[in-house]
Structure 1
Amino acid sequence: MISEKAQNVKLAEARRYIMERVPSLPELGIILGSGLGSFADLVEEKIVISYKDIPHFPISTVEGHAGQLVFGKVSGRKVMVMQGRFHYYEGYSMQEVTFPIRVMQVLGATGLIVTNAAGGINSGFHPGDLILIKDHLNLMGDNPLRGANLLSLGPRFPDLSEGYDLEWRQKALTIARELGINPQEGVYAAMSGPNYETPAEIRYLRTIGADMVGMSTVPEVIVANHGGMQVLGISCVTNMAAGILAQKLNHTEVMETAGRIETQFVQFVQALVRVL
């Protein structure tokens, strides 16, 4: 386990590196999931920093994740966009997976929009749907807050009764209607991966209340809440989960569906940035 002091030293070094290259600090962080990276093209006055150049930053290894931070403005808001994220299944610790969220916090960001590609469990969802996350199930077998607590950023026992900000969700539902997007919410279940779930696991997840399933997001949201950030989560349903339809799953389908709705997704997130 990494001590609180060691974690703070790493954060300070990453913060210093970024501040030497970015003229203004972000107020809002945005994480772009698999196949959804083109939102970064909207950023104005952009400064791009590769993950590999930032002290202590992991490196994204998954197709559909560009692996860079994009700083600048969207709709007049100062943003820090993660074009690609890190996953527990890549072999990183939970602290490494969530290190970028900690960096957002020490840079002063107070809000987070987190997005992902997810498998649909709720039979009312369809590939291509954009679903607001209203709650989650952490079934990854680990927790990013395990170990030394970063007391300067948050309490030992943070509250997650409203892990996904209610006010932000209500604003997002209104915007979805205005854009012609069917306003839907659901519970996101996080599994460790990297294999897709079995039909039996999906039946179990449905029984305990999951509407969609994926391999990310929850660690980031836990750490964001620990650090006092407001959070909005959006899942892009890129495929129906195992056993829902009579077909096998593959990452190509995930990328193809994400690409098909990317324009709508970008419009949605851009509109959200204006009002959150």
Structure 2
Amino acid sequence: MRIFLSLISILMFFSSLFADDYFSTYFDKVDTSSLYLKETTNSNPKLLIVLTAGVDGPIDEMKDIIEVDSKDIPYFPKAKAQGHAGKLIFGKLNGKDIVLMKGRYHYYEGNTPQDVVFPYFVLNALGVESVITLNAVGGISQSLDPGDIMLVTDHINQLSENSLRGLSIQFPEKQFTDMTDAYSFEYQTLAKNVATAIDIELKEGIYLATQGPNYETKSEVKM
């Protein structure tokens, strides 16, 4: 029993060393990735649009397009889910520099939460200030039907992990992130106005994040 406990202690010790190294070099890797994109694209986008499988609409309206495969970006996670190409598409939309993320990086693919948010830190370092994200999800509310378009007004994190763990602590003045108004009221208002103008029914709801990759049981849906 003592030998077994000693082995566990040794494993925990080395695991902590690797974890410390991962977190301490995280933002160095962010800088390396953002520098690569800056040199490759010479772009300074302020807006990121995260596409979902089957949605390519904004690409058709863009000009001066530069595509970057995520596998070529240093330290970038690799997109594995079906329908997610794993590309960043830089270009101009209505004369403004934007970037599209064609293929998200999911927790259920085996990524750590910090891996999942790595691209967002990189693009923020490149100049991105706002994010519009799309995805296809299941609806557990009786008011939702397949094919509905829903505006996310808030979220509940049931992943049991936080993507900022080990990261925000490196910035003492910002280590506790205020999530009171995580979703831009200005963008929500804009989305509602556009939906009304083009006669699209836009529903509202709260996004519930779970680990996946399985769907919920009937009892979980009832909760």
Which bin holds the TM-score, normalised by the shorter protein? 0.7 to 0.9
**SS state of the match for residue 116, structure 1?**
coil
Shift of 1:152: 5.9
Question: Hey, what's the Cα distance between the residues in 2 that align with 1:72 and 1:154?
Answer: 34
Match in the other structure for 1:71: 90
Match for residue 201 of structure 2? 182
1:111 to 127, 130, 133: 130
Is the aligned partner of 1:13 residue 2:24? Answer: no
Give the drift of 1:87.
Answer: 0.4
Q: Which residue of 1 aligns with 2:191?
A: 172
Quote the RMSD (CA, aligned, Å).
1.8
Aligned residue in 2 for 1:161: 180
TM-score (norm. length: structure 1): 0.70
Q: Distance in 1 between matches of 2:173 and 2:85?
A: 30
Q: Distance in 1 between matches of 2:148 and 2:67?
A: 30
CA distance in 1, matches of 2:77, 2:215: 23
Alpha-carbon distance in 2 for matches of 1:118, 1:87: 13
Q: Which has the larger radius of gyration?
A: 2
Q: Which residue of 1 aligns with 2:3?
A: none
Aligned partners of 2:95 and 2:117: how far apart in 1?
27
| Alignment coverage as a number of residue pairs | 204
Q: Cα gap change, 1:7/1:159 in structure 2, threshold over 3 Å: closer, same or farther?
A: same
Deviates more, 1:122-131 or 1:31-40: 31-40
Aligned CA distance change for structure 1 residues 78 and 192 (closer, same or farther; 3 Å) = same
Give the secondary structure class of the aligned counterpart of 1:72. strand
Q: Where in structure 2 are the equivalents of 1:139-218 lying within 5 Å?
A: 139-149=158-168, 151=170, 155-204=174-223
In the alignment, the residues of structure 2 paired with residue 17 and residue 74 of structure 1 have an alpha-carbon distance, to the nearest angstrom, of 23
**Is contact 1:70-1:82 (8 Å) kept?**
yes
Tell whether 2:58 aligns with 1:39. yes
TM-score between the two structures when normalised by the length of structure 2: 0.86
Other-structure match for 1:214: none
C-alpha contact (below 8 Å) 1:173/1:184 kept by paired residues: no
Structure 2 contact 168–176 (Cα < 8 Å) conserved: no
Matching residue's letter, 2:155: H
1:98 aligns with 2:105: no
Structure in which a larger fraction of residues adopt helix = 2
Higher relative contact order (CA 8 A, sep 6+): 1
Q: Which whole-Å CA distance do the structure 1 matches of 2:173 and 2:144 have between them?
A: 36
* Partner-residue secondary structure (3-state), 1:65: coil
The answer (yes or no) to whether the contact 1:33–1:84 under 8 Å persists in 2 is: yes
Letter in 2 for 1:103: V
Could you tell me how far 1:141 is from its partner in structure 2?
A: 1.3
Identity of aligned residues (%): 37
Conservation of the 8 A alpha-carbon contact between 1:70 and 1:80? yes
Provide Cα deviations, 1:22-70, integer angstroms capped at 9, x if missing partner.
1221110111123324433332111000000000011111111111000
Q: Quick check: 1:37–1:84 contact (8 Å CA) kept in 2?
A: no
